[in-house]
Amino acid sequence: MRYMRVTWKHSFPDEPVLTYSEVDENDWEVRVVEVFPDGRKGFASPAESTGSTRLGEDPIPSVDEISAIPEFEAVEISRNDFEDVWANRKNL
């Protein structure tokens, strides 16, 4: 598994500005938490999802590929960091 945090620099109120993803060895998203400009959170896993948040329908690119797009900044994070975010996903 790999874990990443992606910041999306934009001004769309209904799109996330921060995404935390758990990605499997085949590059498929397993769990995701999205944070919106107003502080709302959405999350998804194979077992549950909230609002418009869904798991990716395509393999997830590497942090380098994502960061090559000017409005995105992606970094690898630790499993513990992801698990902390996941544990607090319902604190809206």
Q: Is residue 43 part of a domain?
A: yes
Tokens of 4: 């990443």
Can you give the residue range of the structural domain that contains 16?
2-87
Under DSSP, is residue 82 helix (H, G, I), strand (E, B) or coil?
A: helix
Distance (Å, whole) CA 70 – CA 88: 29
Q: Is residue 92 part of a domain?
A: no
Q: What is the pLDDT of residues 3-48, one digit of tens each?
A: 999 999 998 989 999 999 999 999 999 999 999 999 899 999 999 9
Beta-carbon contacts of residue 54 (< 8 Å; ≥ 6 apart): 44
Give the count of domains, the chain: 1
Burial label, 33 (beta-carbon count in 10 A; 0-12, 13-18, 19+)? buried
Q: Is residue 37 part of a domain?
A: yes
The pTM of this model reads 0.93
Q: What is the pLDDT of residues 67-79, one digit of tens each?
A: 999 999 999 999 9
Q: Is residue 36 part of a domain?
A: yes
CA 77 vs CA 11, 50, 52, 72: distances in Å: 25, 23, 24, 16
Distance (Å, whole) CA 66 – CA 68: 5
Q: Is residue 67 part of a domain?
A: yes
